[in-house]
């Protein structure tokens, strides 16, 4: 298991559903990050396939010109998910309390997780579920930057560096037999972290860890 018990701890131990009770109709990364993510989806996803957007919100950043057979959404705020025009269906579930996804085996061609992996306390269970619901040859794309709700991120993420977070996500995939060797896309920002946190120029760093179900 990649994480020790203390590494799963959060500063805010209250129920996650309370933290996400009110909708946030904002994007948590800048336009440069979003464009890179949409370009990546355009490159790795195929039209007329089934997509699961895990820990989603009111936007999925999927290429608008691509048509999919079905896009299933998941998150913690129903109002945000209801507003998302790219979802065909969605459900609300706290994965830190119940990691079992109410989805059939080998039902999706792709599983996406955008800027949310840092909040998973039991990622081994979740990544096992990702593997379960993916079709053979299906792709999982986990993207993240250096932004987070600090009080809700797990200790291993909060106290890590950008490089160690990439290693951590790779270890999540590696903890589950049946994934390909994780591929990493890393585009670091040239602006010091302190200035990025203040919202000053330079662009958000972009990281994506990608693996396929063998």
Average pLDDT (144-162) is: 94
Average pLDDT (79-94) is: 97
Quick: pLDDT tens for 102-118: 999 999 999 999 999 99
Residue 15 backbone dihedrals phi, psi, to 5 degrees: -55, 130
CA angle 212, 46, 79 (to 5 degrees): 90
Distance, CA of 110 to CA of 45 (rounded, Å): 7
Instruction: Name residue 28's beta-bridge partners.
Output: none
Q: Are strands 108-114 and 50-54 parallel, antiparallel or unpaired?
A: parallel
pLDDT of residue 25: 61
Distances (CA, A) of 23 to 30, 51, 152, 205: 19, 23, 16, 25
Quick: pLDDT tens for 165-193: 999 999 999 999 999 999 999 998 666 66
C-beta separation of 109 from 32 below 8 A: no
Neighbours of 89 (CB within 10 A): 10
């Amino acid at each position: 298991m990649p994480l020790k018990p203390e590494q799963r701890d959060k500063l805010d131990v209250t129920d996650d559903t309370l933290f996400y009770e009110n909708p946030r109709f904002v994007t948590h990364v800048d336009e440069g990050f979003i464009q890179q993510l949409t370009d990546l989806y355009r490159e790795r996803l195929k039209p007329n396939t089934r997509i699961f957007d895990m820990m989603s919100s009111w936007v999925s950043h999927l290429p608008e010109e691509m048509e999919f057979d079905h896009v299933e959404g998941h998150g913690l705020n129903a109002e945000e998910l209801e507003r998302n025009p790219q979802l065909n269906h969605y459900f609300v579930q706290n994965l830190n309390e119940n990691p079992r996804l109410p989805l059939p085996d080998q039902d999706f061609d792709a599983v996406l997780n955008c800027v949310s992996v840092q909040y998973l306390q039991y990622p081994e269970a979740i990544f096992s579920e990702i593997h379960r619901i993916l079709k053979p040859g299906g792709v999982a794309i986990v993207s993240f930057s250096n932004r987070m709700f600090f009080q809700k991120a797990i200790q291993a993420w909060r106290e890590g560096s950008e490089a160690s977070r990439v290693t951590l996500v790779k270890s999540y995939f590696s903890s589950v037999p049946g994934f390909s060797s994780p591929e990493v896309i890393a585009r670091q920002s040239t602006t010091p972290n302190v200035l990025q946190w203040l919202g000053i120029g330079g662009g958000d760093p972009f990281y994506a860890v990608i693996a396929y179900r063998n």
